[in-house]
Structure 1
Amino acid sequence: MNRSSVCLLSVAVALLVAAPAFAEVFKFTGAAEGADGQTLYEEQHTVEGACTDGVFRPLEHWVSYVRQTAGGEETFAEKALSYQSSDIRPTVSYQQSDFNESLEISYKRAEAAEILWQRPTGDKERSSVDVSDNLVVDAGFDNFVRRNWGKVVSGQSVKFRFLAPTRGTDYAFVLEPAQSQVVNADHVVQIRPDSVLLKFLVDPIILGYNNKGALTAYSGLTNVRENSDQNYIATIRYTVNTYPECALTP
């Protein structure tokens, strides 16, 4: 074997060692219901990632929001998230076409979340929020729960900060055990404000998880706009279509 062949072989081995153990896909679907039990819309999630030390690590995440119309199924909103730099602080690109609304969250500077929000009115607002180690962004809450799975299943509480992008700030929240008449799951937790004042203004979000660490239910305020003044409050029940080969939790 000549020197060039040896070099090429070394490069190939290095790439194989550096590559993820698996290229994995995690798919799940959520049906959002109103207080009357009627289906409002459906979420179709596809998460691509890798198995690292036997645990699924999400990398890219796409969501389609669809509803049934007289003409058939209609996609009225879409979201793309990337967890390349953090599994709890993804970049976010969200568009809801029926209200001409969009939201972009990026990290051009590692120490700040940059937010660009286009309101349904067409007005654009820019803001920046300092990043802390325990700041959670958008769907990163799902990975935050799994990251703290040992505490979740043992009934412990976890404090964190959650980004409120349309307000241009973040708030202190608590993830803790909960009981619910709406959500029935192997593990039920809630996300609630840690501030006494906000407790009276913001209702907790109730989450259900199965023993594998997959989200099975979400009940509370959603990120989907119902009208020009408010977002839907819904209970979303999730069904896993495809699990990755490796575990979802440590």
Structure 2
Amino acid sequence: MKLGKLLFFFLLLGNFHLLLAENYNYAGFAVTQKGGKKVYSDNHTEIWKNGKHIASKIVYKDANGKAFAEKEINFSKNPNLPDFKLEDSRDGYMEGAMLLPNNKIKLFYRENQNSKAEERVMSIPKNSAIDGGFDFYLKNHWDDLLAGKSICFNFFAPSKLNYYKFQIRMTKKGKYNGKD
């Protein structure tokens, strides 16, 4: 009995930082264009600490509610370039990235469980984002976009072991869901 309590205490102590964090949960749904039939959902848990979004966990579920993939994102090193890993249990697909010292990033990717995982270490160009870091990148440049400026940035794609250059600009002002 004492060993069980001691083990519980150490598990609790080891994850104490998570107890101090706030979690926010929400879900998105993919539906067919014709008929609106549910295809899958992505169920998000955002972990916030001291007012900062530090991590996310996303569980992807099929139309019947069965989980088929998970993604973990850690924004603590760099919100625009978070460490992340996505794994799909249906076929073994996997992709992700890890921020390294000296302005480097490691991209990794596996097509399926029968494929060999590939990886590439690259230098990070200025104005870059990856995966969930794109949201932070846009928020940081939102005022420039509203002012009519064009934003150029690089987006890393682990499945291609490379990055692509993009340019974003506002094309028109208007309301979306009743908001400016």
**Shorter-chain TM-score: what band?**
0.7 to 0.9
Q: CA deviation at 1:140?
A: 0.8
* Mapped pair 1:74 → 2:74: no
The structure 1 segments of at least 4 consecutive aligned residues displaced by more than 6 Å after TM superposition are: none
**Which residue does the alignment assign to 1:57?**
52
Q: 1:26 aligns with which of 17, 24, 27?
A: 24
Distance in structure 1 (CA, Å) of the matches to 2:49 and 2:127 = 23
Q: Comparing both chains, which one has the higher relative contact order based on Cα–Cα distances under 8 Å and sequence gaps of 6 or more?
A: 1
Length, aligned pairs only? 158
Distance in structure 2 (CA, Å) of the matches to 1:112 and 1:105 = 11
TM-score, length basis structure 1 = 0.56
**Which residue does the alignment assign to 1:145?**
138
Gaps of 5+ in 1: 1-21, 187-209, 212-250
Deviations 1:107-162 (A, max 9, x none): 23342111221112422211122112311011111111111221244443211100
1:38–1:129 Cα change, 3 Å: farther
TM-score, length basis structure 2 = 0.76
Gaps of 5+ in 2: 1-19
Determine what percentage of the aligned residue pairs are the same residue: 19
Q: 1:113 aligns with which of 98, 105, 108?
A: 105
Letter in 2 for 1:59: I
1:188-227 correspondence runs (5 A)? none
**Which residue does the alignment assign to 1:35?**
33
**Which residue does the alignment assign to 1:97?**
89
1:23–1:178 Cα change, 3 Å: farther
What secondary structure does 2:101 align onto? Answer: coil
Q: CA deviation at 1:45?
A: 1.1
Kept after mapping to 1: 8 A contact 2:109/2:161: no
Deviations 1:52-98 (A, max 9, x none): xxxx42111110111223xxx20000000001111110001110111
Letter in 2 for 1:130: S
1:66–1:155 Cα change, 3 Å: farther
Distance in structure 1 (CA, Å) of the matches to 2:139 and 2:24 = 14
Distance in structure 2 (CA, Å) of the matches to 1:154 and 1:185 = 21
Aligned-residue CA RMSD (Å)? 2.5
Which structure is higher in strand share? 1
What secondary structure does 1:99 align onto? Answer: coil
